[in-house]
Homo-oligomer: A and B are copies of this chain.
């Protein structure tokens, strides 16, 4: 039985607690939140769980094996560090930390103490991402050409980070998982309109072997869009995460260019075939992720969404901010 302390009971924390409570092999013993209203909600729903406003109570408790840090990003490092120092495994909300240096320190610390870090890249546990991963691994799409994601809607404005740090971690962690290569460089452009943080931004990432990725994030869109186009040599797919069914559509379409002599002798062959929407696993991603975390702790395994994965995403975010500050300068990674 892995016993959890959860820090943060705002928007996402209740989902973490609810899932942990119904998992075999896990139990939430304490929840910490600075807001008394949040603490009352915990107590009403889970009368047996200890509630506190003081995170250090969780850190020092010998009853707690693992700490879930579900708080704003600027607080992650201090909380995660204290938890690790106290011998707790940590589950940290994305993005992992505010900068690369912090992420590296946490990874080192966990290594020294033989503790597990899992960064909450929830999307990697959805049926959609699992299916895309499978299609790529099987080679169904052929050589990858591009990954192009649009993630826009009205708000929620964050008070402490820009739209890149708020929305792009989803895309960057998915990309990191699917492409399995590190980007060489990126270019980020954007604009602030309201509160001094960029509310509209566009990131291009150059991966090896002519793979290009692009992320469009926007807090000022009248409509919600969650659409990713993925193009490969053999097939292409559209992932629309807002579809109730048929989130993924795989198109048997392609282009082949036969290089003949002379510029005007190029022969372009378009291929167009059936479309296919595979049925996807219908599980709650967060539940699967937490079960996997419990399993990694119990069997002393390193999760694939570990501190190193979190660090790779933070490195891209940091580079994006640097590029943004220079109006789109190329930043090498």
Contacts and interface: CB of A to CB of B under 8 A. Distances in A.
B150 A266 contact: no
A96 B63 CA distance: 53
A255 B327 contact: no
B204 A189 contact: yes
A148 interface: yes
Contacts of A193: 145-146, 210
A212 B238 contact: no
A214 B202 contact: yes
Interface in A128-158: 145-146, 148, 150, 152, 154-157
A220 interface: yes
A111 to B, nearest CB: 35
Interface string A188-215: 0111111100001010101000111010
Contacts of A268: 155-157, 195
A236 interface: yes
A238 B223 CA distance: 8
A53 B237 CA distance: 44
Contacts of A157: 255, 257, 266, 268
Nearest to A198: B212
A150 B152 CA distance: 13
A26 to B, nearest CB: 17
A246 interface: yes
A145 B255 contact: no
Contacts of A273: 279
A267 to B, nearest CB: 10
Contacts of A229: 152, 218, 221-223
A236 B210 contact: no
Interface SS of A by simple majority: strand
Nearest to A256: B194
Nearest to A195: B257
Contacts of A259: 195
B272 A274 contact: no
Contacts of A216: 148, 214, 216
A328 interface: yes
A253 interface: yes
A257 B155 CA distance: 11
A13 B191 CA distance: 41
A264 B191 CA distance: 21
Nearest to A329: B330
A283 interface: no
Interface string A256-280: 0101000110101010111111110
Q: Interface centre among A204, A274, A326, by most B CB within 10 Å? A: A204
A198 to B, nearest CB: 9
A328 B160 CA distance: 28
A73 to B, nearest CB: 14
* Closest 6 A/B residue pairs (Cβ): A222-B236, A222-B251, A187-B328, A189-B204, A191-B212, A275-B277
16 contacts: A156-B268, A159-B266, A160-B263, A187-B189, A192-B210, A194-B257, A200-B214, A204-B328, A218-B231, A221-B229, A221-B231, A222-B236, A245-B275, A272-B279, A275-B279, A328-B328
